[in-house]
Amino acid sequence: MVRIASSQLRPADDLEARMAQIKAILAKAQAMSVDFICFPEGALTGYYADENVARESSLEVGEPLFEEWLHAIKEASPYVTVIVGFNERDGEAIFDSAAIIENGALLGVQRKHYLYHDYFTPGSSSNDGKETHSFRDGSPCRHRMNSAKRFSTGRLGVKNSF
């Protein structure tokens, strides 16, 4: 049986508190033998209405702080596949993105296509090397969780944990 979890949280205001918040949820997921967990938009960086704050909190894939997050996620839940939202910075552009992480390794980044805030740059429909898949609604988490809900009582034995 595949155990799937989703976590709805209001990201804490500062980095250390956010890291502790996410690590605690991941530890719980690990203890419950969850295979796959999905966090909301902005879980790593916070989700801000103000463009300047969003830019200040954004992460560039590969930068030391992003690598620190990968390490923290691996330490908290080495056997859980994680999808987690963050404000991604690439040059001057900011994307509303989701990182797909397994065993502390970044499998890919999905950039949201349909955006609420106009300061975000929309993801492209083609795979430009930064996105792992192009989902119709721009959210791999929503797509996968909705699929899981359809089969949660079905033959596949998928169970939503929390």
Contact 42, 85 (CB under 8 A): yes
CA distances from 45 to 41, 60, 87, 122, 156 (A): 9, 11, 6, 18, 34
CA-to-CA distance for 71 and 121, rounded, in angstroms? 27
Smallest Cα–Cα separation from 130: which of 80, 82, 102, 89? 89
Smallest CA-to-CA distance from 99 within 108, 87, 91 is with 108
Domains belonging to the chain, first-starting first, are 3-160 (3.60.110.10)
Residue at 15: amino acid letter: L
Please give the C-alpha separations between residue 109 and each of 22, 29, 99, in angstroms, as whole numbers. 19, 22, 5
Q: What is the pTM of this model?
A: 0.76
**pLDDT the model gives residue 125:** 57
What's the confidence (pLDDT) of residue 78? 87
List pLDDT tens digits, range 62-118: 999 999 999 999 998 888 999 999 999 999 999 999 999 998 899 999 999 999 899
Please give the pLDDT value at position 160.
Answer: 40
**How many distinct helices (H) and strands (E) make up the chain?**
4, 6
Tokens standing for 80? Answer: 């859980």
Distance, in Å, from the CA atom of 91 to the CA atom of 71, rounded to the nearest integer, reads 24
CB atoms within 10 A of CB 95: 22
- Secondary structure of residue 68 in the 3-state scheme: helix
pLDDT band, residue 13 (cuts 50/70/90): confident
Percent over 90 (pLDDT), the chain? 62
